Amino acid sequence: MKIGFLASHYGSNMQAVITACKTDQLHATPCVVISNNSKSEALARAAREGIPSCHLSTTTHPSAEQLDQAIRQTLVAHQAELVLLAGYMRKLGPQTLAQYKGRIINIHPALLPKFGGAGMYGAHVHEAVLAAGETETGVTIHLVDEEYDHGAILAQSRVPVYQDDTVTLLAQRVLAREHSFLVETLQQIVAGTLCLPEHTRKA
């Protein structure tokens, strides 16, 4: 299965998947990395790994429609079969969503539907979890639709919150779980034991 990535910043989840592919833990091939941030570590990782990459943003394509078209065409040109949002900070446009309906997944550092939606990214998520006095949080992998953190949930993993937790400690614990859980979930998708709704449709 060819996986196309969209990532805005550090790309550590993307790296976990790339490493799993390279070490044969995951039978998939990273085919392209797209970032809206030309200076992102995600693009640097793609270069180091020899994976084709592309900066596509409102800078390269001021028109939302043309940006959407460029993202769709780039994924199709690299024959992506599954699209993984790995810390991608933008909504996808209707052309890309339609082309890859049921085959775009996102990873979120909390147990959705709690602590998701606009503004719930990075440290904000973990701050809100601690402020709410939660005793557990986790990782959610879900399908992507028009809304932030909104599509059907595919898999979740729980992570404990400790009494003396700080945002930094909690973020580290959740991120570590994200890396392993994302690979585990993709293994299930590739093996067909976790079915995507329109998994058989080709781009």
Which of the residues are catalytic? 108
CB of 12: closest distance to ligand GRF in angstroms? Answer: 3
In the list 3, 4, 6, 13, the residue contacting ligand GRF (rule: CB under 6 A) is 13
What single-letter amino acid sits at 93?
Answer: G
Q: Say which residues have a Cβ less than 8 Å from residue 54's Cβ, sequence separation at least 6.
A: 32, 33, 34, 35, 74
Told to check if 12 binds ligand GRF by CB under 6 A, we report yes
Q: Where does this chain touch ligand GRF (CB under 6 A) — which range of 4-12, 25-33, 92-100, 156-164?
A: 4-12
- Which among 138, 127, 132, 131 has a CA at the least distance from the CA of 173? 138
CB of 202: closest distance to ligand GRF in angstroms? Answer: 27
CB of 141: closest distance to ligand GRF in angstroms? Answer: 9
Q: Where does this chain touch ligand GRF (CB under 6 A) — which range of 5-13, 30-38, 127-135, 192-200?
A: 5-13
Alpha-carbon span 190 to 28, nearest angstrom: 7
Q: Which residue's Cβ lies closest to ligand GRF? A: 87
- Which among 111, 116, 113 has a CA at the least distance from the CA of 159? 111
Alpha-carbon span 184 to 107, nearest angstrom: 13
For tokens 């805005």, name the residue: 8
Told to check if 81 binds ligand GRF by CB under 6 A, we report no
- Cβ nearer to ligand GRF, comparing 27 with 124: 124
DSSP lists the bridge partners of residue 141 as: 107, 155
Alpha-carbon span 52 to 12, nearest angstrom: 17
**107 near 141, Cβ under 8 Å?**
yes
Give the footprint of ligand GRF on residues 106-135 (CB under 6 A).
107-109
CB of 155: closest distance to ligand GRF in angstroms? Answer: 13
In the list 4, 87, 102, 116, the residue contacting ligand GRF (rule: CB under 6 A) is 87
Alpha-carbon span 155 to 39, nearest angstrom: 31
In the list 83, 86, 97, 112, the residue contacting ligand GRF (rule: CB under 6 A) is 86
Applying CB under 6 A, the residues found at the interface with ligand GRF are 7, 9-14, 86-87, 107-109, 175, 178
